[in-house]
Structure 1
Amino acid sequence: MLAALARFSVRHRWPVIALWLLAVLGAGLAAQQAGGSFSNDLTLSGTDSQAAHDTLRERYPELSGDGMQVVVHSDSGADTPQVRRAVRAAVADVRGLDDVAAARSPYGPGPDMVSDDGRTAVATVQFTGRAKDVPEESVRAAQEAFAPVRDAGDGIRVEFGGAALRTESGPSGSEAIGLAAAVLVLLVAFGSVFAMAVPLVTALFALALGMSAVNLVAGFTTIGTSGPVVAAMIGLGVGIDYALLVVTRHREGMRAGHSPHESIPIALSTAGRSVLVAGLTVIVAILSLYLVGIPFVSALGLASALTVAATLLAAVTLLPALLAVLGDRLDRFRVRRPRADHAPGHTGGWHRWTGRVQRRPWPYLLAATAALIVMALPLFSMHLGTADGGSAPEGTTERRAYELVSEDFGAGWTGPLLVTAQFDGPAADGPAADAQRRATALRAELQAVEGVREVRPPQLDSTGTTAVFTVVPQGSPDDESTERLVHHLRDDVLPAAADGAETHVGGSTAAAVDLADRLGARMPWFVGFVVGLSFLLLMVEFRSIVVPVKAALMNLLSVGAAYGAVVAVFQWGWGAGLLGAEPGPIESFAPIMLFAVLFGLSMDYEVFLLSRVREEYLRSGDSAASVRGGIAATARVITAAASVMVVVFGSFQLNDQRVVNLFGFGLAVAIAVDATLVRLVLVPAVMAVLGRSAWWLPRPLERLLPHLPGEPAGAERTTDTGAGTDSGSEAGADAGARTGKQPVPPQGGEPDTARR
């Protein structure tokens, strides 16, 4: 199938390229006309914070939306008459704006919000809906209404913070830097300008189509602000990677004597098939995020899956057409002489390295495993949460607002809790009077709780039977003490202090705690599902039970090492300053999202390497020689592909979003570990220990398992005679020749033109 598709693209190369140009332009125009915007929606049905929000929406419509803090600061005083007049005038103007439910002055009525030294005052603006539903124009208009406050005195600052603020993810320059670094890596890997340009052009076309699709989908569903950047990061990395693998196999075919038009279908039916299986594994793993049941996380996965799907489409259609256009000019404009690491009768450095590992597999296996386990140890200290304004980029208004409020009022004021209590029930002097007494008593109980800094007087609804309390924690929103306080209020304090009342703890801080709890609870089920599904796919692909088990365990080690590095840097702060990151909790959705992406990407190299090993094994029946040959044939390209991904992912450290920094760092570490310790040390060591048993599959399963498209259904594995006892020696290299067996066609088969 892939060979036929490649031949079609070769024959009709110019129409295929033209169709891609039209598709990219059309999708771009459609995205401009019908595309949506990006915002964070942390709605979690069935949680206590969502129940609190529902109560507010029903009883306190003016408090149910997300809010924005307006921080007014002046060293000469924010409580002077002229500042008061300017702030009150701005608050009055904001109340008349669309999408604004309420606006409160820091000077009353009610308790004021002026610091003890009089230098800082905080006004609040409450919008009618959640941040995702509030037009950006309305937020900007509310901010502009406070512009005259800056003219009320010398040195007056006005900063903005709160859940209502959202930042669209735009280009940060990191994409261009990642591309420039990828160009250098590809030049070194291929040694020619044209060969370097083909993967880049293919990846850019795919990325353009994929990002337009993401923008279109954002018009129908809510995708988080980090979604487009994460999707671009993954799409660019795998797009270059997949094209690089196919181009490498195509060049190998031409060096073997095939014409370009013969070599392209061969490359697609072998390396292209590996790319297709690996890419589908990535897509399935990412789309499995829908099983978590959290729309915010699922939408991030959907955005990434769209870009990966675009790269697969480009790899099997556009890439063959571009290769056909270049023909035998692919290696023009060389910057170095090409090198062949794997050819008949050739023994290169990768052969010798793999043979060394095979002769003493246990020391290498234990050393590499120990290194990965040590890297993964910080994982057990992971604290899930949502970074607050203190983790916002330096110089942003959110960061400045957070620092002013935290310093002058206390960190808890940057994300107070909202406690609702519904006191419906009979009372001798009426339900309203009873609710007032019970609300006053409950406020006293809440004020006495350890970890509570302040409780504002309760606000009763129009019926006088429901009260809402603003509870200010001692710690910041992302502090572990605040998380413990939320659980303590829900589990212990409120059931005892408000017996018979319906109580809930809400607000953006409580919603973040609920998100972390739900994701933490569902993570084991998600991991089990993705690993199980990948196991089944690899078992069908490689006709083995042992290889999928080995792949799953190694990929789990790679992911664990990446988690450990992320915790050490982004939570503990080790070297965080070098990356421009602020220590804080690990974003609650990051581990599950990282696992989906990393497990899929790890499978890329597993499939590509072991597909080549299996081809060698089907030819010779020698397990040791097949591992040496497979690694020698793929080590250089895997190293180049991994280098491309590392520099692309690493370049996103220049983005100003902490979530994007975290993802880029985690992906870069995992790919680097996977392509070195795992593929070049653990794989040959484990395969040497397993010998021919690595390809064991019970005969009943052999009959039951389906054959993937492109695999020769009738091909049987040769019997490994002698390889099992001499798996670690160079002498096994010619075992296949000594058996006298006829070679089995390689995985995926070759087209008739290639055999002729």
Structure 2
Amino acid sequence: MSSALYRLGRTAFARRRAVIGAWLGLLVLVGALAGLLGGKLDNSVTIPGTESQAALDHLAATFPEAAGTTAQVLVVGQDGNHVDEPEVVAAVDDAIEASTQVDGVTSAVSPFDTETPGASAVSDDGEAALVTISLEGEGVSIGADVKDRLRDIADDLDAALPDGYDATIGGQLYSQEFPGLTVTEALGVVVAFIVLLLTLGSFAAAGMPLLNALLGVGFSTLLVLVAAAFTSVTSTTPLLSLMLGLAVGIDYALFIVSRHREMLATGLPPAEAAARANATAGSAVIFAGLTVMIALVGLGVAGIPFLTVMGVAGAVAVGVAVLVSITLVPAMLGVAGEKLRPRPSRRARRSAADPDAAAAPPAPTAQATGDDWDLPAHHNRFFAGWVRLATARPWVTVVVTVGALLALAFPALDLRLALPDAGVSPTDSSQRITYDRITEHFGPGANGPLVVTGSIVTSEDPLQLMEDVADELRALPGVEDVPLSTPNASIDTGIVQVVPTTGPTDPETAELVQAIRDLRPQILEEHGFDLSVTGFTAVGIDVSAKLGAALLPFAVFVVGLSLVLLTMVFRSVAVPLKATLGYLLSVAAAFGVVTSVFEHGVAADLLHVSRQGPIISFMPIVLMGVLFGLAMDYEVFLVSRMREDYVHSGKARQSVATGFVGSAKVVTAAAVIMVAVFFAFVPEGDINIKPIALGLAVGVAVDAFIVRMTLVPAVMQILGDRAWWMPRSLDRVLPSFDVEGEALHRELSMARWPEDPDVVVAARDLRLAAADGTDVINLAVRRGDALVAHADEPARVAALLLTIAGRLAPAGGDLKVDGYLLPVRAAAVRRRVGYVDLRTEGVDALDAAVAERPVVLAVDRTDLVTDPHERAHVAAAVARAVESGTTLLLGVVGTTPADDLLPADTPVTTLAPQTGVLA
């Protein structure tokens, strides 16, 4: 991967105008497509697999008046005024008449109607009257024009009421309003730019991550709008993808630009610096982005369509951010050229001006638990002090940090989940005022009545049946009232409206829903009524329960994924375990802080939290998915640098310090940017996004600064060399993910070997894995020449030819074929080298291989071709290959000569058996 990214970086740098133009063209194209298709955000939310949703779907077909959404207009008399005054009644009747004319309204019931069952809705104190307006469809799918028209009617009613009376509107229709963007979110981008400027020290360098993120966010947002033409997409979806795309787009570009400037500081030319930065930091970007994407797609574990769409949209935004970062950033680096080369520090300039100072002996290095730290000459003193403090007493650091995180996480034991209702809306909003006044005059349960429904087709007296069921429900604890029990017009479905004594998000209401469901067998046996509980409140309770049940399998999925991926990256057992435990601590701490703010009221006023109560149901699963990916970002960028230094030095504890100092600055900047972008959605954010944004901001801050930059160095210091231990059997099974660019470093260091450019196959101290690593081979075969390899055992010669052909990885040593280093560039070698085994494939396969004109052709078991006719056939094919410039490798078991298969003037290199091995 690092080699491919190296080439991609060089290409994008060289063809910068084409790359930038292509991305801008794609942006315009997708924008035009989004405008042409006209996709709209419909905010329809369905929760398949729940009792309440199934009952709601059934009601939509048999009793549509009861399956829709309701709005509530509340008329209140101030200072003891009663609402039954003739002027008040007349104004309310006029408002009801106007409401029935609004599209989508199925009925509007007068609170003064004493004849219709369940219609009378005047408070016991006579000071409030509640008008219930029924609408067709789900609340969040009803257009803003309908909501605005009903608001206007309520305002007109308020104006028409006598002095001492007022009217407000609220109810289910207004309880869930999906969020939009405000100017506050732009503050996160401003903070990000300031941090980038301080970190990179250049306006040009600081602007690149922002441009990268904005283009990626624009592209992914337009893709969401295109998708909205084909599937249901809520307005929360583009907001989440925007939040994620902006944060990771800035961070990923920052990592690449920062590494590019490091390379420039070593004196590399800009093109080479950009290519190497893309290969090293870009590899980590791809891995980090991949983990975020997999975790987001894993949100589908909950089985809730709108949440799955949110996860996929977020994953697409992150994927786009990755693609833009590894292509557009090198192109922008090409535009900047030498402008990004860091100026020498004051110390370096003074040293250059004062030869005596330059010749002074270096300052002594710091000591760390018996290892020389050997930090870079101009290391960051702040971060050097940080890692020194964290690792001086590593066990103390571990105990203190884990204790602090557990203390932050402790309030999470009180975490309650629910879908938010109007009770968490801003205190000055009409729906919140209505909600609070209904609670005051009618009790909290009137804000979220339950609907109990079932089939009554077998009943001979449906009216009496409904009354009997209502009496059964009235007897349950937690029931305030049962104002309505009636069959539908076709007498096949009945409904009973149940008003709880507690509010919609109160845990006791959920207990009442379960109590009613537990009553089903008894009511079915006694009355033949197979009941189901539905309604806005029951749907919210079922969603919360379903999401709660999905948390454990999702956590297992995420934790298992992190263990596997990190083991692949770091080739270690201890590092993935430490990283996963750290992630769990970060998640727990984020849950604890969110619970403290939204349920316990800590700093609630400061963060504009209008009311304490349960957290939105899908917050935990979204936070776990997103934070997992971001936590792995910091783990990869920090620990991969430690591993990189360890690979080069072999000193585990020294590498903790040098790797930390080399990456801490950019990780700090990335974390501050993430926190700023997420936290910008908190103060003025919608209640749906606010707890998620706060949880992400806290989670990122805790994970970056406490877990990754404090706990991790301490644990790595304790483990020492044991941190990089991995069983050989596991190492062979797991694929390698070269995030550190280890293979690229080796490839670049051997770029000038072999010195002769005509050598197409070069081996130096090569050991063959399939031959138990006992064969040590040195050879150089020039282009157009031939190699004849003899061995006493078929496995040995086959191992050599398959290794040169890129089909087997060597056990050690150096091997290059057509300029490509193996096993790093095995895929490229396989495309250029043909392989034919005459024992199993026959001479016809040789003709086909020669026709492909490979650079190198390996032909094994030529000793088996003994028939003169067939041997002549092979010789003719070999001659055609030599004529086309192909380099030939002929494998022979035993001492059978192969010279007769080659044209007479072909230069031949021979590997002959010596004591049973190739030499």
If the length of structure 1 is used for normalisation, what is the TM-score?
A: 0.89
Letter in 1 for 2:577: V
Distance across 1 between alignment mates of 2:233 and 2:660 = 40
Work out whether 1:152 is the aligned partner of 2:157. Answer: no
Q: Tell me, yes or no, if structure 1 residue 559 matches structure 2 residue 564.
A: no
Aligned partner of 2:781 in structure 1 is none
Cross-structure match for 2:111: 106
Corresponding position of 1:420:
453
The verdict on how the C-alpha distance between 1:97 and 1:748 changes in structure 2, with shifts beyond 3 A counting, is farther
Deviations 1:520-543 (A, max 9, x none): 112100110111122212211222
The question of 1:455 aligning with 2:470 is answered: no
CA distance in 2, matches of 1:321, 1:396: 49
1:410 equivalent in alignment to 2:443: yes
When residues 289 and 665 of structure 1 are mapped into structure 2, their CA distance, relative to the original with a 3 A threshold, is: same
Which has a greater percent of helix?
A: 1
Residue 51 of structure 1: how far off its partner (Å): 2.8
Match of 2:99 among 94, 118, 126: 94
Question: Mean Cα displacement is larger for which, 318-327 or 65-74?
Answer: 65-74
Residues 43 and 141, structure 2, Cα contact 8 Å, conserved in 1: no
SS in 2 for 1:72: strand
Distance change (3 Å), C-alpha of 1:333 and 1:95: farther
2:23 matches 1:20: yes
Give the distance between the partners of 1:488 and 1:145, measured in 2 at CA: 39
**Structure 1 residues 507 and 533: alpha-carbon distance in aligned structure 2, compared to 1, 3 A threshold:** same
Larger Rg: 2
Q: CA deviation at 1:117?
A: 4.2
Equivalent residues in 2 for 1:629-708, closer than 5 Å:
629-708=658-737
- The CA distance in 2 between the partners of 1:153 and 1:347, in whole Å, is 74
Whether 2:515 is the aligned partner of 1:505: answer no
2:230 counterpart residue number? 220
Q: Deviation at 1:689?
A: 1.7
**In 2, distance between residues paired with 1:31 and 1:83?**
50
Partners of 1:71 and 1:333 lie apart in 2 by 69
Alpha carbons of structure 1 residues 148 and 593: separation in structure 2 relative to 1, 3 Å: same
Which secondary structure state, in structure 1, belongs to the residue aligned with residue 480 of structure 2? strand
Structure 1 distance, partners of 2:676, 2:742, is: 38
- The partner residue of 1:297 within 307, 311, 325 is 307
Q: Deviations over 1:451-485 (max 9, x none)?
A: 11111131112343532111111111111111111
1:643 shift after superposition? 0.8
Residues 448 and 398 (structure 1), Cα distance of their counterparts in 2 relative to 1, 3 Å cut: same
Residues 192 and 333, structure 1, Cα contact 8 Å, conserved in 2:
no
Residues 510-519 or 348-357, more deviating? 348-357
RMSD: 2.9
Change (3 A) 1:405 1:37: farther
Q: Deviations over 1:8-38 (max 9, x none)?
A: 2111112222222233333334334435444
Question: Does structure 2 conserve the Cα–Cα contact (< 8 Å) formed by 1:132 and 1:222?
Answer: no
In structure 2, which of residues 151, 163, 170 is the aligned counterpart of residue 161 of structure 1?
A: 170
Aligned residue pairs total: 715
The counterpart of 1:186, out of the listed 196, 209, 221, is 196
Q: CA deviation at 1:405?
A: 1.5
Q: In 1, Cα distance between the equivalents of 2:692 and 2:470? A: 42
Distance 1:614-1:332 versus aligned 2 partners, 3 A rule: closer
Q: Distance in 1 between matches of 2:36 and 2:108?
A: 34
- Match of 1:577, as an amino acid? D
Q: Give the 5 Å matches for 1:577-616.
A: 577-581=605-609, 582-616=611-645
How much has 1:261 moved relative to structure 2?
1.2
* Distance change in 2, residues 1:319/1:495 (3 Å): same
Give the corresponding residue for 1:444.
471
Contact preservation (8 Å) 1:95, 1:101: yes
Conserved in 1, the CA contact under 8 Å of 2:195 and 2:672?
A: yes
The separation in 2 between residues aligned to 1:518 and 1:374, in whole angstroms, is 28
Q: 1:65, 1:496 → 2: CA distance?
A: 29
Equivalent residue letter for 1:587: I
- What's the offset of the Cα at 1:39? 5.0
CA–CA distance in structure 1, aligned partners of residues 643 and 262 of structure 2: 18
Deviation at 1:668, TM superposition (A): 0.9
| Aligned match of 1:627 | 656
Aligned to 1:543: 571
Amino acid at match of 1:242: Y
Alpha-carbon distance between aligned partners in 2 of 1:665 and 1:198, rounded to the nearest angstrom = 27
**C-alpha separation in 2, matches of 1:402 and 1:336:** 65
Q: Which stretch shows the higher mean deviation, 181-190 or 603-612? A: 181-190
Match of 2:134 in 1: 126
C-alpha contact 1:87 1:146 (8 A) present in aligned 2: no
Shift of 1:317: 1.3
Cα deviation digits, residues 339-381 of structure 1 (max 9, x gap): 9x99744555333442443342111111111111111111222
Equivalent residue for 1:490? 517
**2:140–2:177 Cα contact (<8 Å) kept:** no
State the Cα distance separating 1:684 from its structure 2 match: 0.9
AA aligned opposite 2:224: V
1:5 deviates by 1.5
Structure with the larger RCO, 1 or 2 (CA within 8 Å, 6+ apart): 1
Matched-pair contact (CA < 8 Å) for 1:193–1:334: no
- Whether the 8 Å contact between 1:193 and 1:333 is mirrored in structure 2 is no
Distance in 1, Cα, partners of 2:221 & 2:68: 30
Identity of aligned residues (%): 38
Query: In 1, distance between residues paired with 2:108 and 2:251?
Result: 52
CA positional deviation for 1:280: 1.0
Which residue of the partner structure matches residue 864 of structure 2?
Answer: none
Q: Distance in 2 between matches of 1:34 and 1:126?
A: 33
SS of the residue 1:578 aligns to: coil
**Equivalent in 243, 246, 254 of residue 264 of structure 2:** 254
What does residue range 316-465 of structure 1 map to in structure 2 within 5 Å?
A: 316-330=326-340, 344-346=376-378, 348-349=380-381, 350-425=383-458, 431-433=459-461, 435-465=462-492
Contact 2:52 2:532 in 1 (8 A): yes
Structure 1 counterpart of 2:846: none
Q: How far apart, in 2, do the equivalents of 1:66 and 1:8 lie?
A: 57
Q: 2:277 aligns with which of 257, 267, 281?
A: 267
Deviation at 1:322, TM superposition (A): 1.2
1:218 Cα deviation from its structure 2 partner = 2.7
Q: Read off the aligned partner of 2:587 and give its amino acid letter.
A: V
The 3 A distance-change label for structure 1 pair 335 and 177 is: farther
| Pair 1:139–1:334, CA change in 2 (3 A) | farther
Helix, strand or coil at the partner of 1:69: strand
Say if 2:505 is the partner of 1:478: yes
Q: Does structure 2 conserve the Cα–Cα contact (< 8 Å) formed by 1:193 and 1:335? A: no
TM-score normalised to structure 2 length: 0.74
Note if contact 1:104-1:123 (Cα within 8 Å) is conserved in structure 2. Answer: yes
Q: CA deviation at 1:230?
A: 2.5
Q: Secondary structure at the match of 1:509?
A: helix
Shift of the 571–223 alpha-carbon distance from structure 1 to 2, 3 Å rule, reads: farther
Match in the other structure for 1:753? none
CA distance in 2, matches of 1:748, 1:206: 31
Describe the SS at the equivalent of 1:577.
coil
What 5-or-longer segments of structure 1 have no aligned partner? 426-430, 717-741, 750-756
| Superimposed CA distance per residue, residues 710-741 of structure 1 (whole angstroms, 9 cap, x where no aligned partner) | 7566999xxxxxxxxxxxxxxxxxxxxxxxxx
Q: Which moved more, 1:341-350 or 1:227-236?
A: 341-350
Q: 1:490, CA displacement in angstroms? A: 1.1
Range with bigger deviation, 689-698 or 112-121: 112-121
Q: Counterparts of 1:649 and 1:338 in 2: how far apart (Å)?
A: 39
Structure 2 unaligned blocks of 5 or more: 350-372, 747-812, 815-820, 826-919
Q: Pick which of 110-119 and 444-453 moved more.
A: 110-119
Distance 2:248 2:167 in 1: 44
> How much has 1:132 moved relative to structure 2?
4.4
Residue 263 of structure 1: CA displacement?
0.5
Which deviates more from structure 2 when the two are superposed, residues 217-226 or residues 285-294?
217-226
TM alignment of 1:734-745, pairs within 5 A: none
Using the alignment, how far apart are the partners of 2:132 and 2:314 within structure 1? Answer: 36
Q: Match of 1:618?
A: 647
